[in-house]
Amino acid sequence: MSWGYSDTNGPLHWIEHYEAAAGPHQSPIDIRTETTEYDPELWYHPLRIQHARQYNLEVENNGHSFQADVDDSSSISGGPLGDATHYLKQFHFHWGSSDLQGSEHKVDGKNYSAELHFVHWNAAKYSTFEDAVDKEDGLTVLGVFIKVGQENKEFKKLTDVMHEVLDPYTTTNVGTMFDPRCLLPRNVDKYWTYPGSLTTPPCYESVTWILLEEAICLSHSQLMHLRSLIGGCHSNDEGGCYEDNIVDNFRTINPLGDRVVRASFCTRA
Ligand SMILES: [Zn+2]
């Protein structure tokens, strides 16, 4: 049975098939802001997010999320990455069945309505994404929290083609120029960073997480577009197969363990 988010194949079952999922440094986590450690080095060496505009961006319903596969012209460096350039491979979303939940990470126990993941790989050290994916310093995911508010004009270009990928395992292209920078908040200098894992199988502990403190907005109706997508097959009790809308495609919270969450900013007054 393939993995998913239902009672029968959800996060609590992943360890049965994916060994790494039982590891000590898994994601997502609940960021307890009181226990984060301000690291002035992060403030003095800001992130350099160089996400380029995409022409004819390819987007897909991969059966468990909505994902955009970008060309290799976008990168991130700085902050916890130092001078190492990490190339953007794809970005995708996690969302809820209602506006009350949907994010993978929490902040002081609070959910956001959705979470956007920009997945990068360490091109300074590895030659391909596949080579980097299971290495301790292989990946960097830039996470952006999403709350309900004003419509995002750039995201509308994605919802305009979403009806073409309602079915699982389908792809289409965004015909107009798409600017991924419009999916970042104004302030990218304030973030948390910690060592963690992919939040989907195979859950490799290969991710330097960078979570921006400031959220972006999507409208309720834009989130409804994501909820209209159909997911891959689940097995039912009779051994048959049924399809359902993709909702609540977020993993359960994992213990922080011996890790420290560093902040690029000082929270104390
Ligand atoms: Zn993700």
Residue 84 CA to ligand 1 center (angstroms) comes to 22
CA of 13 to the centre of ligand 1 (A): 18
Catalytic sites, residue numbers:
64
**Which pLDDT does position 243 carry in this prediction?**
76
194 lies in some domain: yes
How confident is the model at residue 235, as a pLDDT? Answer: 62
User: From first to last of its 269 residues, what are the pLDDT tens digits of the chain?
Assistant: 689 999 889 999 999 999 999 999 999 999 999 999 999 999 999 999 999 999 999 999 999 999 999 998 999 999 999 999 999 999 999 999 999 999 999 999 999 999 999 999 999 999 999 999 999 999 999 999 999 999 999 999 999 999 999 999 999 999 999 999 999 999 999 999 999 999 999 999 999 999 999 999 999 999 999 999 999 876 666 666 667 999 999 999 999 999 999 999 997 64
Distance CA 79, CA 194 (A): 12
Kindly state whether residue 120 falls inside one of the protein's structural domains. yes
Taking the centre of ligand 1 as the mean of its atom positions, its distance from the CA of residue 238, in whole angstroms, is 31
Whichever domain contains 79, its CATH number is: 3.10.200.10
Distance between CA atoms of 21 and 189, rounded to whole angstroms? 31
- Read out DSSP for 161-201? HHGGG-STTEEEE--S-B-GGGGS-S--S-EEEEEE--SST
CB 197 within 8 A of CB 203: yes
Q: Is residue 268 part of a domain?
A: no
Asked whether residue 3 is assigned to any structural domain, the reply reads: no
Residues in the 5 Å CB sphere of ion ligand 1: 117
Query: Does residue 6 belong to any structural domain of this protein?
Result: no
What is the count of structural domains for the chain?
Answer: 1
Catalogue the E-assigned strands of the chain: 30-31, 37-38, 47-50, 58-61, 66-69, 75-78, 86-95, 106-107, 114-122, 139-148, 170-173, 191-196, 207-212, 216-218, 234-235, 241-242, 262-263
Structural domain contains residue 36:
yes
Full domain range(s) for residue 42: 11-263
In angstroms, rounded to a whole number, what is the distance separating the alpha carbons of residues 191 and 144? Answer: 10
Domain assignment of residue 4, yes or no? no
pLDDT of residue 232: 86
Q: If we measure between CA atoms, which residue out of 164, 141, 161, 159 comes closest to residue 81?
A: 141
pLDDT the model gives residue 2: 86
Residue 193: inside a domain, yes or no?
Answer: yes
3 state SS for 241-264:
EECCECCCCCCCCCCCCCCCCEEC
Residue 258 is encoded by which pair of tokens? 């011996």
The closest alpha carbon to 100, from 243, 248, 264, 260, belongs to 248
Q: What is the pTM of this model?
A: 0.96
CA of 266 to the centre of ligand 1 (A): 27
